[in-house]
Amino acid sequence: MHIVIIGNGVAGNSAVSAIREVSEETSITMISQEPFPEYSACVLSKKYISGEMKREAVFLKTSEDYLRENVRTIFGQGVARINIESKKVLLGTESINYGKLIIATGGRPVVPSIEGIDKQGVFTLKTLEDADRIANYSGRKVVVLGPGYIGIEVSIALKKRGWGVSLVGGRTGRILRPTFDEKPSLILRKIIEDYGIEVLTGERAIKFGGDTHVHNVVTDKREIKCNMVILVLGIRPEVELAQKAGIAIGNL
């Protein structure tokens, strides 16, 4: 039996652990578009971007750990498609046969259709590469779109780095609305504002201004000058590979 796992996050590595609990001999190949060993996505927005955690500390595994688990790794290469009839995973120049296939591709950031979204200095925050780009970007003022957990964490992290921060969004006028009702939401907002972060809820971005680099965010209420924009507007399941292969998926 040869098992192929697409994805090197928590789900994919948990699958490896579960397989190895019952079989040391089963052949496993793990494929990941990212070139890194497993890392903790949870610390990126909070500890790594703030500078409180060194880059090497974000990793949960080393290359040697995969060798110890007897897992063949193909990192830094995405899957082009899956052929479920012939049981093959097709890469750019290689095809891999499988007996069982585990798709653990996680999610992708929600990116809205906003004028100027392709300007330099506009980032999503999902992967280590995203966090690297944000941590190494130069500027003084950032607009964070999305007042959820990740948006608040990266706002605080960049404030610690000396950035001026505006946290924008929340159509209802509240932060963390899915989790908290009005009273605790207002308490948390006050704490964030006291930390020196401008919180602007009940408005939405309609344009990113500037030439090749973002220079401002235009909302339906104001214009905010900035050098960087971070989009943290939610995650959608990464199901494109499964859909193209004709694999049944749940309701989205």
Q: At a CB cut-off of 8 Å and minimum separation 6, what does 232 contact?
A: 45, 109, 124, 125, 144, 145, 146, 148, 150, 151, 154
Q: Within 10 A of 252 (CB to CB), how many other CB atoms are there?
A: 7
To the query of whether residue 226 is one of the catalytic residues in this protein, the response is no
Q: Tell me which residue has tokens 């214009």.
A: 223
Q: What secondary structure does DSSP assign to 64-125, as a single string?
A: HHHHHTTEEEEES----EEETTTTEEE-SS-EEE-SEEEE---EEE-----BTTTSBTEEE-
Burial call 84-108: b when 16+ CB within 10 Å, e when fewer: eeeebbeeeeeebebeebbbbbbee
Task: Output the furthest CA–CA distance in the chain (Å, rounded).
Answer: 61
133 phi, psi to nearest 5 deg = -65, -40
Q: Which of 1, 42, 84, 191 is catalytic?
A: 42
Distance of CA 179 to the CA centre of its chain: 20
Q: Where are the alpha helices (DSSP H) in the chain?
A: 10-22, 63-68, 128-135, 149-160, 182-194, 240-245
The catalytic site residues sit at 42
